[in-house]
Amino acid sequence: MRFDTRAVHVGEEPNLAPGGTGDVVMPIHLSSTFARAEIDVPTAGYEYSRSGNPTRDGLERRLAALEDGQHGLAFASGLAAETAVVLTLLRPGDHVVLFDDLYGGSRRLFTKVFGEQWGLSLTFVDATDTARVAEALRPETRMIWMETPTNPLLKLCDIEAICELVQDRECLVAVDNTFMTPAFQRPLALGADLVVHSTTKYLNGHSDSVGGAVIVNSDALHERLRFHQNAAGAVLSPFDSFLVLRGLKTLGVRMRAHQEAALRIAGWLSDRAEVARVIYPGLDSHPQHDLAARQMSGFGGMVSFELIGGLTAARRLLENVRIFALAESLGGVESLIESPALMTHASVPPEARREIGLTDGLVRLSVGIESVEDLLEDLDRALKRTQA
Ligand SMILES: Cc1ncc(COP(=O)(O)O)c(C=O)c1O
């Protein structure tokens, strides 16, 4: 089955067996516990909804199928998924190499919780250059944690080249694929051991659920993560699992629409006098456009740009848009706008922001699927007011 067909059908096959009701849509199995006909035999394999739930199972199977993986696990948030990966697969004293331009919350989780409180040792590198990742490796490096493209500077790392660096080492490669989604990028096929998602974003796609996921190929990794998921308990609820299953049906269609509008807006912004630079992997001007075209089958719906007028202009722009909602998060059908320095990345210390090039005048767009002409008119009106 091809991608768009898998997105609609895997994990949601109608039950036509005797006693099955043939639902075309996955029911929301709200039951916290499952009655048994026989003491020793859980009915249809289910005992208790933290350990396993039919709606969540359906979602986990679909997530695996879309990422070309063997096993999917759904968690209560993207950060809960990241926490499960670290607590299951790493130990205090282990060393992790991370991209220096991660989502602010991921960076905070690693530095404040797993670094300062728990004892991981961390090296943040500019992973746009694979050589820097190689230089950062130590004998005790047990994981490389990448996000590509990054949030919000849309920097890329070469997943395949990074995986090759550690193929003979006891070191796992985890890739946060939230921005591209499996519609445009499949890290497992490029050699990664784990794919992580905030399903809150494009996978659910409608800004009405918070969730996370991990997808792996290895049975051994899956067994350990599955044990942790049940033992620690940060599972995705049946209702949220239903929402993400529903959202995933249109993932391919939505991603193509997001990308078409984003490309148009990125090109349009590039010609504006108020804008110092536009960052979008689909533009020739993106320093890693060639890698983007090779590694991804699309360029996504996120566009960042820097205003000549800095923070003052950014504030004016955000105050004057009408269709773009001023909000954190991304990946929904509605367009969002935000200032990373003031909002999503405020938890990153100012000096760390400066080091990676995250300036105060940077604005991030999550381009939705509205009519692009309306979005351009909205930006045009608000950009003109940045000069006032
Ligand atoms: C790239 C990326 N990874 C992880 C997360 C964390 O996910 P959640 O907010 O679902 O915990 C986010 C949230 O914005 C994100 O953008």
198, 236, 364, best to mutate for ligand 1 pocket (most atoms within 8 Å of CB):
198
Q: How far is CA 387 from CA 226, 268, 287, 306, 337, in A?
A: 54, 18, 29, 14, 19
d(C-alpha 257, C-alpha 6), whole Å: 19
150, 154, 200, best to mutate for ligand 1 pocket (most atoms within 8 Å of CB):
200
Which of these, 229, 311, 188, lies nearest to 57 by C-alpha position? 229
pLDDT at 319 over 90: yes
d(C-alpha 190, C-alpha 370), whole Å: 33
Q: Residue 63's Cα: distance from chain center in Å?
A: 13
* pLDDT tens track for 46-79: 999 999 999 999 999 999 999 999 999 999 999 9
* pLDDT tens track for 230-287: 999 999 999 999 999 999 999 999 999 999 999 999 999 999 999 999 999 999 999 9
Q: Which residue puts its alpha carbon closest to atom 15 of ligand 1?
A: 103
d(C-alpha 162, C-alpha 173), whole Å: 8
The pLDDT of residue 388: 66
Instruction: Supply the pTM of this predicted model.
Output: 0.96
The count of C-alpha atoms lying within 13 angstroms of the C-alpha of 61, restricted to the half-sphere facing its C-beta, is 16
d(C-alpha 346, C-alpha 280), whole Å: 22
Q: What is the largest CA-CA distance in the chain?
A: 75
* pLDDT tens track for 136-151: 999 999 999 999 999 8
Closest ligand 1 atom to residue 82 Cα is 4
Please list the helix, strand and coil fractions of the chain in percent, rounded to the nearest 5, in that order.
40, 15, 45
The pLDDT of residue 357: 81
Contact 54, 62 (CB under 8 A): no
d(C-alpha 50, C-alpha 241), whole Å: 13
Backbone angles phi, psi at 262, to 5 degrees: -65, -40
d(C-alpha 71, C-alpha 377), whole Å: 44
Verify whether residue 50 is a known catalytic residue: yes
Find the 277 Cα to ligand 1 centroid distance in Å: 25
Closest ligand 1 atom to residue 328 Cα is 14
Verify whether residue 103 is a known catalytic residue: yes
Q: Which two tokens stand for residue 112?
A: 């404040």
Q: How far is CA 68 from CA 50, 329, 346, in A?
A: 25, 26, 35
Coil, helix or strand at residue 362 = strand
> What dihedral angle (degrees, nearest 10) is formed by the CA atoms of 221, 130, 189, 288?
140
Any residues with Cβ below 6 Å from ligand 1, and which? 77-79, 103, 105-106, 147, 151, 176, 178-179, 198, 200, 210, 212, 329
